[in-house]
Structures are given as structure tokens and as C-alpha cells.
Structure 1
Amino acid sequence: MKKVLVISNMYPSASHPSYGIFVKNQVEALKRAGIEVDIAVNDNPAVGKKNVITKYAKWAKHALSLGKKGKNDYTVTHAHYVFPSGMLSLALKKMFRIPYIVTAHGGDIERMAKKSERIRKWTASILQQAEHVIAVGPVLAEQIERDFQVPATKISILSMGVNRTIFHQADKATVRQELQVAEDVFTFLFVGNVIEQKGVEELLHAYRQVRANTDRATQLIIVGSRRDTAFIERIQPLVDEHVRFEDPVKQPQLAKWFQAADSFVLPSHLEGFGLVALEALACGTPVIASQVGGLVSLLGDGAGKLVPAKNSDALREEMLRALHTPRAAYVNEQAVNKALTLHDEVTITNHVIALYESASKGGERP
């Protein structure tokens, strides 16, 4: 294999360490496996029409320049997110005959493709002209096949995988001392962007009711970006001294938050896969999540607890159950181990490399 060009509209930086971190994780895993990788990525999460036009123009120019220079060197390009990243892979295929695969992460199909008929048509074209499509969960794969007429033989279901050298169990008391989390307080944890679609409002409502229905000391820790100022203002009345916010952190530090928690809660309205839930499991933390998207296949066999999305009452009841049930009775260790084995980063990386080889030969599934 020659080189691979990874194209992504999300990628972390020193200022924004969690922005598209899963893409960087896969890039680093590919390099560890001996693959030479170039990247054409956007690491600027700034919003607003002017910012978006400026940053995407710079990113597109860089990607097309790399493609032109390396047209004889790249085995394949790999786009993360169908639109807009896939547009650049499609352009490089048309201009320089470089084959590509594309990974759909969920939001690109669930939200972006529904923004306009033009974007939907672009999305369909990107998916149909790719040598292969990766969907991070089975629900997403079915949607791509059904709604965009992509043959099932051209779709693989692969999560981004979990790096178990970073995300692993550790001594809870030691980690809590480091993070200044009281040892005798039951700690619920949320990790992700603090936005409406992640179910943070329902989580705060549920947590208030949990506190009203128990005598145990509890707290809720929310780790993630709070760039949506309008939403932050809206949920402010639900926040009290028992809710603690933390800024995004790099993965080794994030693992410590998982290790310190008693229960991880992910009440998303939609979720292509839900990698943070897998990371929590790897750290030995029980997971409660919405019954949506890839979370259903990840947790549905008993690796975690599923509740209806947008339902703070059901979420409250499951949080109370986690609070008052001994861990040994609450967690299905066999199901957790099965999920971790299936979604191990090394296993996923080997599958991706096989797809690269396949794409260079016409896209038939290996």
C-alpha cells in the first residue's frame, strides 16, 4: 500500500482537544499499524457564516493541493463525514482518479442531509460514487442503504474503536483524589458537547428528581464544550451546586473522569454510534443511554441500560436504579467484555486497512 489521505471537517487542536478526536485516534492507529497517512482537516470549530466560509475555503484548498501533488502516491482517500468532507474526496476522484471510502458518523445523515434538497443530492452522489461506505452503527447502515440506494455489499459497519491502553480501569479512590471528587458522593458523569441534541436538558431535569428521591449524596459532572451560549442560558435555572462543569480535556485526562464516575449517562436524541459510551465501559463505568442509533447495538445485549430518548422520567428511574443497586448486580460483565472485544481499536484498524486495499481494486468488500 502507498499513502492514504484522510479528509475530515473535524479534527482536534491544542485549543480544542475533543473536536473530532475520534478521527485523530484512527489516524494515529493507522500510523501505528504501518500505514503512511497525510491529513487534510479542519481543526477550527468556529461558527457563523463568515467563519465557516473562510475556514472551509482554506481546508478545501489544502485538500485539493495535497491531492494534486500526491495523485500518484495515494492508494485511497478516506473522508470522515459524508458532507462536506466527502465532496473533497469525490472531487479528487474525478480530477485525479484517486478512489475513496467515506465514513458516515450519523449527524451527516440524520441532520446535514436534511438541511436542503441540494445537500441531500450531494450526499447521495458521494455515497453512491464511493468505492466503499463505512457506517459507525447498524441503524445508520440501514438508513444509508434504504434512503440513498447504496447496495448493502458496499457498506461495512465499523465503529471508530476504543483504545484500551488509554481507556481502562483504575483505582477509583486515587483518581477521585486527583480530580477533587469526594470519595463518598455517588457521581453521575456526562461527556460531550453541551447542546440540546445531546439530551443535557433532560439529564438536568432527571437529576433534580433523583436528588429529590434519595438521601444519598450525589453529584453530576458534565465534561464538554459549552459554545452554545443560548442553550447554556436556557438550562441555567436547572443548574445548582450539585452540578459541576468541566472543559474538554485530552483523552488521558478524560479517561480519569470515566474512572472516577459511578455511572455514565448519555441521553442523546440521536447518536451514530456513541463512542463515549464505549470508552466509559472500557473504564469499568456502568452506562445509561438513550435507545437511539448505534447505542442500541452497542448496549442492547446488556452491556448498558437503555431508556427512551427525550424522556426525563424514564431517565430518572434508571439513574435511581443505578444509584441504589450494587454494581455487581447492575452490570452484565459478560456483555461488556463482548462489546469491548468487538470494538477494540486494533481490530477496527485492521478492518479499515483491508477496506483501503479493497478500494484500490474496485471496492469489493474484503
Structure 2
Amino acid sequence: MRLLIVTSQFPIAGEPNRGRPILQTVRELSRLAQVKVISPIASYPRWAQPRSYLYRASDDTHQVPGCDVDYVRYPALPAVSRPFNGRLCARAIERPMRDFAPDVVLSYWLYPDAHGAMLAARRAGLPLVVGARGSDLRVRDAISKRLTRPVLAAAQRLLVVSEDLGRVAVKDYDADPDRIRAIPNGCDAAIFHPGDRAAARQALDLPADAEVVTYVGRLVAEKGLRELLDATARLRAERPRLQVVLVGEGPLREELAARIGKDTLPVRLAGAQPADVVAQWMVASDLVTLPSYSEGHPNVLVEALACGRPVVSTPVGGIPEVVDAASGVLVPARDAAALAAGLVAVLDREWDEAALARRFSRDWRQVAQDTLQVCEEALSEVRGLRAVYAAGSA
């Protein structure tokens, strides 16, 4: 099968960890089929850079090991061009799509990426499979939500990373449940596995007796990072050995750094790190936290558990499908006091590292196999419909 992936959620110059679960899936798919990635990047004027992203793609020739990827640009303006971004995206991907001549188009991120892929695939007469990651289904602006609806109606299949997201698609977009397939994320056990905590702390310059709480992800308000700093402020007197580490980058970094300095909080900003260093931070930790307001199926929690570390998170999206009382504590979102109590509860409890690590044995090859099977379903369905139409026209 010749499979074209269309997604902006892919590593770009300056942001190497962008779309890491999709990257892992694509690498394994490339072992099973002939795969090409087209990554459409919105190109904003220098004077109109959106605040929601820290980085812009600066090198269209950026290469990703193990992947055949082309970066294409389309012009955009924050908010102003939103209603047209899908069509602009379609225009950017049409030619490379035609040159690759795929059997199936698979697009991750519903608007504008999958909307553009829908228009381009329709013109080329190709089957379309789309993948939702979380916030692209739980969109806040009315324009994106309105333009997402036809994508779900047109796609032969909708891939979601959790059963919860499938329910959202049916409830909020009237998606056909028979076309929805839940394919949870995998985990690379070669990288994320239990390790020597003392050695990891020594390598990362952490005190041997510290109570280390680690967050991994983009530095954005929606991840509950203001509440995490509030919880840290509440706990620093009673937990003098507490050390909070934020691994990642994002537009909230300057605000967080200012707050940390102003209140002298025991928080370290570790920056964005490659997967092996992320795993090292997890191994060095007592727990991993993700106090998000909204999530799909956060891979960081799967990876934390694979490293044998309990988690403190929120009961939103697909998180309850990953975390239960045997693996951590769930607290209400946007509640710093509850978050502080959850951190204490996990820090004060003894955890079975080996039992936590056994919870997730699903690897990315399984994710790729499931994804390819769905793409084959879509192709077979379209070919069957064409055969019926041809027979009726004869």
C-alpha cells in the first residue's frame, strides 16, 4: 500500500519533539507500507506570529530519520485566515499528493490539516482516514468546530486515541460510530523502562534525598502549570525536600520563570529534551504529574508508568483509561489545593515499580499494524462501492 500521511503535528526545525506519537507510528508504518509524510506548516508574517506557539518552522528541508517527509507552507494570519486555512492547506498539499500517487490518505489533526487533506483527496478520488488527538476534537472556537464537522462526515474512518474521544465525536459531531476506531498510543520499552533512580539523579544533578515531581510536555496554561506552581508554593514549607521539574518548552516559559524567581519556588525548568533524556528524568522522579484541563490519551503518562513511576493527573479525556487507583491519583482540574493533596498522597505511598511497569506492553509496531488495518478497511470499502457503482452503470 502507498500511504500518504498529512499532518502538521510532526517534528520541525526548532521543535524536535513535536508530534512524537505520530512520528513513532509513522516510523513503524514505514516498515509495513510505502509511506510519505506531507507536513503543512502555516506561514505567518513576522509581525503576526501567533502567541500559542513558541517555534516556527525555519527549515523546509528539515529531515526526520526513518521518515520520508516534505514540509510545505501556506500563508496564514492569526484568527483572520482561520476560515480559509483548510483550503489553503489543500492547495499546498495537492501537488505533492499527486506526485506520490497514494492509495489512501491518512491525516492527523482535524482542522486545518485533515480538512485540507479531505479537499485534496476528494479531487484525487482517494479514500480518506483521519486521526483525532484530543484538542482537535474539543475545539473552543466555533469556526474550527464548524469546519471539522464535514471532515468527520467525509472520512471513511476516524481514528481516536481513546474511547472517550470516540464518544465526543459521536456526541458533538454526529460522527458515525461504525466508522470510529480507537487505537491507543504505544510505548517504546527500549527507552521507557525502570532504571536506577540514584544514578539518574546523580546524572541530572538532583539531590539523592529529594522528593522529585516531574512534568513533561508543552509549557502552556492548559496543562495546569499555574496550578502546579500554586501547589508547589503550598507544599514547600511542609515538604522541604520537594523539587519540581518542568521538562519542555512553550509560550508560558517566561511567565513561569518569573513566578519561580519571584516566589523562590523549588522548580527547575529543564527545557525540551530528547526521548532518552525524558526517560532519565522520569526514572529520577518519585512521580510524574500532568494536571491538564483537557487530554486525549497522553503518552507521557503511559511512558511514566512504563518507567515504574506513579502519576498524579486529572480525570479528563482518556486519562481515566490510563490511570486508576493502582497507578496514581486523579484530582479535579484547575484546583491547586486538590493537586497539592494528590502529590502528597502519592509521595507518601509505597509503589510497586515492577507492577507499574507491567501495565503497558503495547508497542508502536502494534499501533502501526492496527492503523494499517484501518487504512486497508477504508480502501476496500471504497473499491467495493466503486465496483457496485460500475456494475449498476453497465
Normalised by the shorter chain, which TM-score bucket?
Answer: 0.7 to 0.9
Taking the aligned partners of 1:44 and 1:169, their CA distance within structure 2 comes to 39
Aligned to 1:21: 20
- How many residues in Structure 1 have an aligned counterpart in Structure 2? 351
1:84 counterpart = 2:112: yes
How far is the alpha carbon of 1:28 from its aligned partner?
Answer: 1.0
Per-residue CA deviation, residues 91-147 of structure 1 (Å, 9 max, x unaligned), is 122111111111111111112xx312x422220100111010011112211010111
2: CA distance, partners of 1:46 / 1:209: 41
Match of 1:115 in 2: 141
2:95 aligned partner? 65
Shift of 1:360: 0.7
Matched-pair contact (CA < 8 Å) for 2:89–2:116 = no
Contact in 1 for aligned 2:222/2:292 (Cα 8 Å): yes
Please name the residue that 2:65 is paired with: none
Question: Which residue matches 1:260?
Answer: 284
Answer 1 or 2: which has greater helix percent: 1
Structure 1 counterpart SS, 2:111? coil
Higher-Rg structure is: 2
Corresponding residue for residue 56 of structure 1: 74
Provide the C-alpha distance between the structure 2 equivalents of 1:49 and 1:276, rounded to a whole number of angstroms: 34
Q: Classify the secondary structure of the residue corresponding to 2:233.
A: helix
Q: Does 1:156 align with 2:175?
A: no
Q: 1:350 to 1:304 in 2, by over 3 A?
A: farther
- 1:351 and 1:49 map into 2 onto residues whose CA distance is 43
1:5 deviates by: 0.9
In structure 2, relative to structure 1, the CA distance for the partners of 1:239 and 1:189 (3 Å cut) is farther
**In structure 2, how many angstroms separate the alpha carbons of the residues matched to 1:296 and 1:48?**
41
**Structure 2 counterpart of 1:75:** 103
Q: Distance in 2 between matches of 1:246 and 1:47?
A: 30
| Structure 1: gaps (5+ residues) | none
* TM-aligned CA distance change 1:49 to 1:115, over 3 Å: farther
Partner of 2:38: 40
- Matched to 2:183, the amino acid is L
Query: Letter of the aligned partner of 1:348 in structure 2?
Result: V
Query: What is aligned with 2:158?
Result: 133
- Whole-angstrom CA distance in 2 between matches of 1:169 and 1:162: 13
Question: Shift in Å at residue 234 of structure 1?
Answer: 7.1
User: Does the CA-based 8 Å contact 1:196-1:231 persist in structure 2?
Assistant: no
Shift of 1:59: 6.3
Instruction: Give the letter aligned to residue 122 of structure 2.
Output: K
CA separation in 2, counterparts of 1:325 and 1:136?
A: 30
Residue equivalent to 1:200:
225
- Aligned-partner Cα distance in 1 for 2:74–2:274: 25
1:357 corresponds in structure 2 to: 376
Q: 2:85: which partner in 1?
A: none
Counterparts of 1:358 and 1:92 in 2: how far apart (Å)?
A: 20
Change in Cα spacing, 1:51 to 1:242, as seen in structure 2 (3 Å) is: closer
| C-alpha contact 1:204 1:238 (8 A) present in aligned 2 | no
Q: Deviations over 1:192-251 (max 9, x none)?
A: 111110000111111122222235x12000011132367447744675251100111111
Secondary structure at 2:74's aligned position in 1? helix
Identify unmatched segments of 5+ residues in structure 2. Answer: 51-55, 57-71, 76-87, 384-394
- Which 10-residue stretch deviates more, 161-170 or 284-293? 161-170
d(CA) in 1 for partners of 2:382, 2:170: 16
Question: Measured at CA, do residues 207 and 14 of structure 1 come closer, stay the same or move farther in structure 2, by a change above 3 Å?
Answer: same
Change (3 A) 1:167 1:363: farther
Distance in 2 separating the partners of 1:36 and 1:96: 19
- Taking structure 2 as the reference length, what is the TM-score of the superposition? 0.82
- The one-letter code of the counterpart of 1:360 is L
Counterpart of 1:8 in structure 2 is: 7
Query: Which deviates more, 260-269 or 12-21?
Result: 12-21
- Note if contact 1:75-1:360 (Cα within 8 Å) is conserved in structure 2: yes
Give the letter for the 1:337 counterpart.
R
Structure 2 counterpart of 1:192, one-letter code: G
Residue in 2 aligned with 1:104? 132
- What's the secondary structure of 1:270's corresponding residue? coil
- Report deviation, 1:36: 1.7
CA RMSD in angstroms, aligned pairs only: 2.7
